[in-house]
Amino acid sequence: MRWALLLAFVLVSHGWAFPSGTLYLPLDDRPPNWLPCTWQVVRCPPRALYQGRQGANLEALWGWLQEQTGRTLVASLDALVYGGLVQSRSSALPLEEARGRLEVLYRWQARTGGQVLAFGVIPRHPDATHRTRNLELLRSLGDGFAYLEAPWDDALPGSPAVAEAATLPIPTRPGADEAGQVLLLRALNPGVRVRVLYDQPQAAQQITRYEGIPLQESVSRLLLSAGAVAVESRPDLVLVVYTGGDPRRGVLTVLQGLREAPVALADIARVNRGEASLVRYLLALDIYRDLAAYASWGTPGNNLGAALAQGGLFAAPLCQRAGNPAAWCEERRARVLAQAYLEYLWGEIGRPWVRARFPEPLTEEAARYVFERLQTEPMPRLGLGQLRPEGLQFPWGRSFEAEWQYRLDGVPNLQR
């Protein structure tokens, strides 16, 4: 029986029934942005074209795109124009030259007849030195693409981002690093019926940190970005928004959602880390393994978008309804849950631990010591087997993000 299961995974590991011919150009190669390239549902540039903190090799990236065919392209404008998110804040590139660099998208569109779904980030304050240029580029793009949006990055008090977004003639919302995942849901599995449940209904009206608008409005804009439909009954997916304070109430909200549909859980109680008491309950009650998705690694907008996108793509009924084999769907769901748990573990324990002991840039020695520390933490058993971390590294040499290697017992290791 075990060998039959392994054979099933091998047979379906390189095939899917989501719309084929989808290309994905990430914002950069940090784990949240690069993660969809490991899902085996899209075609990505060679990772070597993204050069960490130095930014993408633009000539090589443009050349790669011109060689590709496909039906749909999900693309970061900041990667194609500036080389990535960090570079978009500091590049002194003139506006006309920035516009010219987007010709590669129009040429791809004309050559292939494919559609482009694109996003450009309204940069965070006060880091960006050429905000006006960035905004004018977004304002000038018109309706040349099938879909275009502008998430804003980290709108803390004093940031002009929310007011700037209101001047743009395109959809805007809080977020940045989850935007590629959200647009992939729009491209691959649009029309998901989503019911939103809040652990504290009154929190829906409150302005959350880093967002600048009420939480409920953030969620509404996110659903529109994803091509999802907000419903109150017969959902395909329940998005549970956990705002913190009472983990037992959070668990009860998850259980309420599970009675209706698969649950994607966005843990937004804290920024860049999950709430440990909630996760302990989910593990102790053996609920975590039943989730469609979980996200706690970033800002509220990041976590909402990642949970929605992963749940909308890999929740079993939705994934299978798109024509994907059941075993393939279950493997994908188990892997996104494994990744999400390791991201939680990094934010809750790994990042504080390594920051207290090692200076940046972080070395392989730092990675080895913090990995040894994290191996003492409990690991969940997911639907396909026990989660076994095998190593981690720091792709940008800093503690904010860690990139994990892991396996699930009994499942071929297909990480890329």
Segment 129-176, tens digit of pLDDT: 999 999 999 999 988 999 999 999 999 999 999 999 999 999 999 999
Least-confidence region, from 11-20, 124-133, 239-248, 348-357: 11-20
Mean pLDDT of 9-29: 74
Q: How confident is the model at residue 13 (pLDDT cuts 50, 70, 90)?
A: very low
Whether 14 shows a pLDDT value over 50: the answer reads no
Alpha helices in 226-258 (DSSP H): 247-258
Identify the three-state secondary structure at position 43: strand
Half-sphere exposure in the Cβ direction for 72 (13 Å, CA): 19
Mean pLDDT of 13-41: 88
- In 3D space, the residue among 312, 321, 354, 342 whose CA is nearest the CA of residue 408 turns out to be 342
Note the pLDDT of residue 412.
Answer: 65
Mean pLDDT of the chain: 94
Question: Cβ(101)–Cβ(80) under 8 Å?
Answer: yes
Note the pLDDT of residue 324.
Answer: 94
Whether 4 shows a pLDDT value over 90: the answer reads no
Q: What is the pTM of this model?
A: 0.95
Q: How confident is the model at residue 7 (pLDDT cuts 50, 70, 90)?
A: very low
Which residue is associated with the tokens 């990480």? 415
Q: pLDDT digits over 250-291, tens only?
A: 999 999 999 999 999 999 999 999 999 999 999 999 999 999
Query: Does the 191-324 domain belong in CATH 3.40.50?
Result: yes
Question: Cβ(106)–Cβ(149) under 8 Å?
Answer: no
Note the pLDDT of residue 142.
Answer: 82
Q: How confident is the model at residue 16 (pLDDT cuts 50, 70, 90)?
A: low
115: Cα separation from own chain's centroid: 21
Q: pLDDT digits over 35-54, tens only?
A: 999 999 999 999 999 999 99
Query: Does the 16-188 domain belong in CATH 2.40.128?
Result: no
Q: How confident is the model at residue 415 (pLDDT cuts 50, 70, 90)?
A: low
Whether 11 shows a pLDDT value over 60: the answer reads no
Tokens of residue 367, six digits:
């990675």
Whether 109 shows a pLDDT value over 70: the answer reads yes
The residue ranges of every structural domain in the chain are 16-188, 191-324, 349-408
Mean pLDDT of 376-388: 95
Whether 413 shows a pLDDT value over 70: the answer reads no
Least-confidence region, from 1-15, 38-52, 378-392: 1-15
Note the pLDDT of residue 20.
Answer: 81
CA distance 195 to 230: 6
Give percent helix, percent strand, percent coil of the chain, each to the nearest 5.
45, 15, 40
Residue with the bigger pLDDT between 314 and 1: it is 314
Mean pLDDT of 382-387: 94
Tokens of residue 397, six digits:
């040499």
